[in-house]
Chains A and B, each alone.
Chain A
Amino acid sequence: MLTKRIIPCLDIKNGRTVKGVNFVDLRDAGDPVELAKQYADQGADELVFLDITATLEARATTLEMVLHVAEQVNIPFTVGGGISSVEHVDALLKNGADKVSVNSSAVKRPELVNELADKFGSQCVVVAIDAKKIDNDWFVHLAGGTIPTDIKLFEWAKEVEKRGAGEILFTSMNHDGTKNGFANEALAKLSDILNIPIIASGGAGNVQHFVDTFKEGKSDAALAASVFHFGEIPIPELKKELKKQDIVVRL
């Protein structure tokens, strides 16, 4: 059976990992390659690198970093952050990224999703969606969740699937940073209305939250940052517990 995936997310600035990372046995916690290798050894199924600088100068640095990660890491990884052109994606894939994720740029110019899917195949196009529940509706937000739009989450998700997205990375801004669990109701609805894999993001605080998002949220994968970086939830233990609760994982 296809397993549920556990995906650590690393924020990258100028080619270096940011946010405190608290691995005791790391020589250099800011080195994305070393961190990535560590996560691969722990049993992470994939990795996501989110470039939070995304200035033009930083772009070259990120490309360099992608090349080094591809050289040394033997599990798949996605690169996101500030990607808005076919050329940029081409460079990232040529440097060894397996997938790219696009977010605000796809909202501003939805044809980008078609262009990427046509040229590189849907399998490497992840559309990241940040959304917030306001009254009873989920609205898409841009630029790391800072700019609200009147675009509705489920309509937008449907549209990007039709345009060729291979996967959706959904972050609930109501849950992100709370450590109170994932947005399982919205995630389950996404899984019901779409036929592509859904990655849950935002809200991971304990092991049960992962169990819940795979069961109630019908998520195909779960992404988290701080609970992994600070060693609050070691991946091997997380996977053992998931297995105990009848969730198919790679051990």
Chain B
Amino acid sequence: MKLVIINYGAGNIKSIQFAFNRLGYEAILSNDPEEIKAADKVIFPGVGEASSAMKMLKESGLDTLIPTLKQPVLGICLGMQLMCLHTEEGDTEGLGIFQTKVKRFSNDVKVPQMGWNIIKELKSDLFKGIKENEYMYLVHSYYAEHCNETIAATDYEINYASALQHNNFYGTQFHPEKSGNEGAKILRNFINMKPLALS
């Protein structure tokens, strides 16, 4: 099993690598398109601010590569947001994998949302063994609006999509790598996902 974590900038991606290590899998960090293409599973982490993250993806050509991947891809936090059509953060065009837009929470609530909140209306094998209303750890100022690809919902000011799936592409707004033993189950489920059937 070859796991690749896309490494396109600064920040804490060690946590994701360690989370897979704890499950017994090695995950390598890479921004090399060939290495990413050859991976069995790809993790697309969230790093910093949307427009500068998108710029870094473009510089390495990863913006065109990621949407063509056939193996299971998991976007986490900003990674998931960048897989959407557009985000208000820095007025940034996304990769357009998920047919939804990313908006900012209003100032009626504290921003960022920081801490543990419930995920519900779970709809994917990604959540096999996870009970409705399980707590996950989230840190974010922007949220994805619901769409047909919503596979989990969370309430904070409004009800929004806390996870998305389109074919072999998965995205979680929460951090499974920081969400205790239940989060680890989600990563294990992801490892068990099959690639998109090649016709």
Write out the residue numbers on chain A whose beta carbons fall within 8 Å of the beta carbon of B22.
71-72, 74
9 A-B pairs closest in CB distance: A96-B14, A250-B135, A250-B116, A123-B139, A2-B117, A3-B116, A121-B48, A93-B12, A76-B178
Q: Are A166 and B117 in contact (CB under 8 A)?
A: no
Chain B contact surface mostly? mixed
Contacts of A54 in B (CB 8 A): none
- Taking a contact as CB atoms under 8 Å apart, the answer to whether B18 and A45 are in contact is no
Distance of A166 Cα from B115 Cα, bound (Å): 12
Name the residue in A76, A93, A98, A221 with the highest tally of chain B Cβ atoms < 10 Å from its Cβ.
Answer: A76
Q: Kindly state whether residue A167 has any CB partner on chain B within 8 Å.
A: yes
What string of 1s and 0s marks CB contacts (under 8 Å) between A116-141 and chain B? 00011111100000000000000000
With A40-B180, A70-B15, A98-B12: A121-B49 Cβ-Cβ less than 8 Å: yes
A-B contact pairs, 27 of them (CB 8 A): A1-B155, A2-B113, A3-B116, A5-B116, A70-B14, A70-B18, A74-B19, A74-B178, A74-B181, A74-B183, A75-B178, A76-B178, A93-B12, A94-B12, A95-B14, A96-B12, A97-B12, A119-B48, A120-B48, A121-B11, A122-B141, A124-B12, A166-B112, A196-B110, A197-B115, A220-B114, A250-B135
Main secondary structure of the interface of A (DSSP, over half): loop
Candidate in A4, A74, A166, A197 with the most chain B CB atoms within 10 angstroms: A74
Q: Assess whether B18 is in contact with A71, with CB atoms less than 8 Å apart.
A: yes
The reply on B21 being an interface residue by CB < 8 A is yes
Per the CB 8 Å criterion, the residue count for chain B at the interface is 36
Map CB proximity to A onto B46-72 as digits: 1 under 8 Å, 0 otherwise: 001100000000000000000000000
Interface size of A as a range: 35 or more
Question: Is the C-beta of B137 less than 8 angstroms from some C-beta in chain A?
Answer: yes
